[in-house]
Amino acid sequence: MITINEHYLKLQASYLFSDIAKRIAAFQKENPSRSIIKLGIGDVTRALPKASIEAFHRAVDEMAADQSFRGYGPEQGYDFLREAIAENDFRSRGADIAADEIFISDGAKCDTGNIQELFSQDITIAIPDPVYPVYLDTNVMAGRTGDFRDGRYGGLVYLDSTRENNFVPSLPAGQVDLIYLCFPNNPTGSTISLDELKTWVDYARKNKALILFDAAYEAFIQDDSLPKSIYEIEGAREVSIEFRSFSKTAGFTGTRCAFTVVPKECAAFDASGNRQLIHPLWNRRHCTKFNGVSYPVQRAAEAIYSPEGKAQTRELISYYMKNAEMIRLGIDALGFDFVGGENSPYVWIDGKRDSWEFFDLLLNKAGVVCTPGAGFGRCGKGYIRISAFNSHENVAEAMQRISKMLG
């Protein structure tokens, strides 16, 4: 008899963004003439930078001729892209990262979801609340949690991010082994200072723990004093893995390209307490289960590091940050408490009511889609997240509709 992985039965009904998509589809079916502005899922709306498009075309042409055609590439990614990343994203900021510590992949979602495979079943995991659901759900699937009760899975250490701690969780009181952090944060848009991040690195070093640092939104940081990479902190190489993505940085949500940094010193421990390096293990996993990102996509990603590509990417980010400003100003004028939107494309708003109720209200009365905070965890109850990924016109229109409805 074929039996299933029963841990899947513990999962909450469906993935948050699929759930929202279903509600929108149902609303649209009932109200075919209503215009809907989507500020829910963080999906980019603007075209790829010109430099990327040109590189993409050139690479496709190479694939069209036998002499320049390429078959399987290296699973870890082509050297040209790994070198460009190491130089521009890390070494230029004083973070000592080598090209062969970078693993190119098709998404930070997949990498943050897959990395847990490397660790044993009985580790103690600290997970922020609210949180990007992938970190949590993949550990549920792997059987590292108990059942879901009162909005939380048993067996996890939740790190509350609330107004009281400025949406930056405090260190856990006891010993944990694996820590998920995301800054600029999804969903709250909050940021962490170098000093605050250092306390986490110090904690991990002292407790033989490991930090999984999701920096998918680093490109939105406007304040130069904030860390873009955890490796800007001394000692982080031994205790942290960092995830990055071209999705939000350069409009690659549909094109798919991201990377994970595993420094050579980074280690976990075996049952006898011996240090085991993570780099060869992740490499082994990557080579076994992944066949690399396509050549044209990697060329398109490399192009964002050219002088033109850098300028075009900056322009893209500024465009969305202008939207974030419009959202902040509009929400502020309505008297809501909020965080984010200054170094992040997300604005996290205390709606002073149930977040799904607020979601339905915005959808039904204003035709605006947001993301209900409760979908990100118990601490998200009462909040909604508004995303800056849309056109200026649509964001301005959405804010007008919301003001009219609530004002």
* Residues lying near ligand MLT in the complex (CB under 6 A): 41-43, 109, 132, 186
Choose between 109 and 328: whose C-beta lies nearer to ligand MLT: 109
CA distance 251 to 386: 18
Taking the least distance from each CB to ligand MLT, the nearer of 200 and 348 is 348
Residue 194 Cβ vs ligand MLT, minimum distance, rounded to whole Å: 25
Question: Cα Rg for the chain, rounded, in angstroms?
Answer: 21
Token output for 323: 């939207």
Nearest distance from residue 380's CB to ligand MLT, in Å? 12
CB of 372 to ligand MLT, least distance (A): 12
String of DSSP letters for 248-273: HHHT-TTT--EEEE--TT-EEE-TTS
Nearer of residues 42 and 184 to ligand MLT, judged by Cβ: 42
Of 306, 190, 181, 314, nearest in space to 251 by CA: 314
Least Cβ distance, residue 4 to ligand MLT (angstroms):
25
C-beta closer to ligand MLT: residue 132 or 203:
132
Q: How far is the CB of 20 from ligand MLT (least distance, A)?
A: 9
Angle at 17 between CA 15 and CA 20, to 5 degrees: 110
Q: Which residue is nearest to ligand MLT (CB)?
A: 42
Chain-centre distance for alpha carbon 376: 13
- Residue 201's alpha-carbon distances to 209, 230, 270, in angstroms, are 9, 8, 21
Q: Which is nearer to ligand MLT, 278 or 369 (CB)?
A: 369
Pick 42 or 49: Cβ nearer ligand MLT: 42
- Copy the structure tokens of residue 73: 């590439």
CA 262 to chain centre: 17
Q: H/E element holding 18?
A: helix 16-30
Q: What is the nearest approach in angstroms of ligand MLT to the Cβ of residue 109?
A: 4
